[in-house]
Amino acid sequence: MLLSSIGRKWIVAISGLLMIGFVVVHMTGNLQMYAGTPDKINLYAHLLHSYPIILWAFRLGLIGVTALHIWGTISLARENRRAKPLQYAVAGRKSRLQVTWTSVTMVISGTVILGFVVFHLLHFTAQVVDKSYASMETAVGGVAMHDVYRMVIKGFSNPWISGFYLIAMGLLFSHLRHGAASVFQTFGLRDRQLVQVIEVGAWILAMALFVGFGSIPVGVMLGLIRP
């Protein structure tokens, strides 16, 4: 039953919700760039890396969740294409069919976000895009640790990287605007009274993530976040 249409919709919704949870925590962590001192985010990153078993269990879990989300959406989308072999010669009015732009571009936004995530991991996690990141060290209270603060500023000083980052965050907004609201429908929690709350709530969540993530490269480019 997990493989049925609705079973896979549940898999996509639950994995999507877990990933939303992850990006919210990730964004909150990033906001420590504004703490006024590099120590705050460096200590936070140091803490996250101090228990390799937990870190790797978390990473593998997140990779598994992402894989489920991708597998579920691809298999559903392929069936959807097959189920509609011929489109209408004249498209109906968008206003009549109440289909939103963000909802029809989910596959595109999701694919670009996936590409971004791979780049982002190579860039800041594996640090293979710019090898100098790996040797950025600092010490807080006598403890040597990786200088995440300086790495982020150096990373976002490159306008191409900041630009790609902002485009990806814009698509994340688009993806979650539809995705976060859809979770409620798949869980069967959407009804007449709640529609407005869910739609506006999804918009606010998606916008908060866009602003939270996006403000950091913008802040670096404008010189508001400095070494």
**Which residues would be at the binding site for other proteins (CB under 8 A)?**
1-2, 4-10, 76, 79-80, 82-93, 96-100, 103-104, 106, 178, 181-182, 184-192
Cα gap 33→29, rounded to integer Å = 8
Give the number of other CB atoms < 10 A from CB of residue 182: 20
Cα gap 216→212, rounded to integer Å = 7
Closer to other proteins by Cβ: residue 11 or 153: 11
Closer to other proteins by Cβ: residue 10 or 22: 10
3-state secondary structure of 36: coil
Closer to other proteins by Cβ: residue 87 or 135: 87
Measure the CA angle with vertex 130, ends 144 and 149; round to 5°: 40
3-state secondary structure of 102: helix
Closer to other proteins by Cβ: residue 81 or 131: 81
Smallest gap, in angstroms, from Cβ of residue 79 to other proteins?
Answer: 6
Closer to other proteins by Cβ: residue 79 or 137: 79
Closest CA to 185 of 200, 173, 199, 203: 199
Smallest gap, in angstroms, from Cβ of residue 189 to other proteins?
Answer: 7
Give the number of other CB atoms < 10 A from CB of residue 65: 19
Query: For residue 91, what are its two tokens?
Result: 């498209």
Smallest gap, in angstroms, from Cβ of residue 13 to other proteins?
Answer: 9
Cα gap 3→21, rounded to integer Å = 24
Beta partners for residue 143, in sequence order: 140
Smallest gap, in angstroms, from Cβ of residue 66 to other proteins?
Answer: 19
Smallest gap, in angstroms, from Cβ of residue 147 to other proteins?
Answer: 44
Smallest gap, in angstroms, from Cβ of residue 87 to other proteins?
Answer: 7
Closer to other proteins by Cβ: residue 130 or 199: 199
140: part of which helix (H) or strand (E)? Answer: strand 137-140
